[in-house]
Amino acid sequence: MWDIIVIVIANAISLFESIFGWVLSAVAFVIDLFFLIPGLGNALKVILGTATAIVWTVVSLPDALAGLFGVRPEKRLRVCTVVLSDELGEPIADLAYVRMMLQAAATAFKHEANVRLMPSAPFQFSNGFAGEAEVTDDWIIVDKTPSTKALLDPATGGQGFVKNFGELGSQFEAKASRCCFYGSWRRIVGYGAPVTVFIVRSLERAYGHAQYEAGWVWVQNQGPRNGWPIGLLTCNLRVIAHEVNHVCGHWWHLNAGSNQENLMEVPATETPPTIEAAVARMRLNTFQILLLRASKHVTYI
Ligand SMILES: [Zn+2]
């Protein structure tokens, strides 16, 4: 019963947002301009991003308690996926490959945590009881504007974090505002904020990087342009889900040795690049499920 009430309300609000969300996002777009100031803008973004993460997690504590006892109606997690184009304006990743990574994420989050992955776009509804979302190419935005080398090959880890506090962070913020305009107001307010997934050309020593306070992730293209399907065996389809889960509050990794099938371990060996094989290695434990569901990015409406 509770499930049905939640779904009716959530879909009614989705409809309302589809019609009026543009106005809110236009206002948010102007606010976003402050975040584009290198240094100061980045600092403001950290403060706002962290504050909204804390507030919305506290608000969802009663829901987390219910979740602990197994009451977990479907929640929604919005993503805005952007494939960058290289210096010559050529998209750096093949849509089929990006779609497979998104499908692995949609399947794992739905099966593990009853969280429905959906694109940050108008007129997205769910009846709450269907299986995982079926990812289509229209989930993916190809940014045709050529990107600079700094954006195409950003660094990862601590270096990536530091680099984000400046010109680079501002440039990614500008891309998020422009390519993911529809979700702008949610990115400011934090509630149900879409996670922006940037598909970049290369990263150093990692498949992906999560920039928690900014609400975006970088995922390295491993697809056809890097020799796929010849290099199919080294194709890691877990990356989008893994990085998005970092942004949703799971900042650390689990020990790979004792958590072989967990989404938050970093496997020493690759899995065959099928969605089934990837999803089998994308399990979440109870604490991780509750943490994911309590994230500001994961909401009922
Ligand atoms: Zn990681």
Q: How far is the CA of 206 from the centre of ligand 1 (A)?
A: 9
Run of H or E residues at 115: strand 115-119
Closest C-alpha among 237, 245, 208, 206 to residue 79: 245
Q: How far is the CA of 11 from the centre of ligand 1 (A)?
A: 33
Kindly indicate the confidence band of residue 266, based on its pLDDT and cuts at 50, 70 and 90: confident
Quick one: what percent of the chain has pLDDT higher than 70? Answer: 91
Quick one: what percent of the chain has pLDDT higher than 90? Answer: 41
Q: How far is the CA of 129 from the centre of ligand 1 (A)?
A: 30
Q: Which domain holds residue 155?
A: 2-299
Q: Which two tokens stand for residue 279?
A: 């999803």
Phi/psi at 80 (nearest 5 deg)? -125, 110
Q: How far is the CA of 264 from the centre of ligand 1 (A)?
A: 6
Q: How far is the CA of 14 from the centre of ligand 1 (A)?
A: 31
Q: What is the pLDDT of residue 232?
A: 47
Query: Beta strands 75-85 and 195-200: pairing type?
Result: parallel
Q: What is the mean pLDDT of the chain?
A: 85
The tens digit of pLDDT for each residue in 64-91 reads: 898 899 889 999 999 999 999 999 999 9
Task: Please compute the mean of the pLDDT values over residues 279-294 and round it to a whole number.
Answer: 94
Q: How far is the CA of 209 from the centre of ligand 1 (A)?
A: 7
Q: How far is the CA of 208 from the centre of ligand 1 (A)?
A: 7
d(CA 254, CA 120): 29
Total of domains in the chain: 1
Q: How far is the CA of 97 from the centre of ligand 1 (A)?
A: 20
Q: How far is the CA of 50 from the centre of ligand 1 (A)?
A: 19
Q: What is the pLDDT of residue 21?
A: 75
Q: How far is the CA of 218 from the centre of ligand 1 (A)?
A: 11
Kindly indicate the confidence band of residue 154, based on its pLDDT and cuts at 50, 70 and 90: confident
Q: How far is the CA of 243 from the centre of ligand 1 (A)?
A: 6
Q: How far is the CA of 197 from the centre of ligand 1 (A)?
A: 14
Q: How far is the CA of 151 from the centre of ligand 1 (A)?
A: 20
Task: Please compute the mean of the pLDDT values over residues 174-186 and round it to a whole number.
Answer: 88
Q: How far is the CA of 288 from the centre of ligand 1 (A)?
A: 14
- pLDDT of 225 above 60: no
The string over 20-30, giving b where at least 16 C-beta atoms fall within 10 Å of a residue's C-beta and e elsewhere, is ebeebbeebee
d(CA 270, CA 252): 20
Q: What is the pLDDT of residue 235?
A: 65
Q: Which two tokens stand for residue 207?
A: 């498949």
Q: How far is the CA of 181 from the centre of ligand 1 (A)?
A: 27
Q: Which two tokens stand for residue 273?
A: 């690049």
Q: How far is the CA of 127 from the centre of ligand 1 (A)?
A: 32
Q: Is 299 helix (H, G, I), strand (E, B) or coil?
A: strand
Q: How far is the CA of 259 from the centre of ligand 1 (A)?
A: 14
Q: Which two tokens stand for residue 72?
A: 């977990």
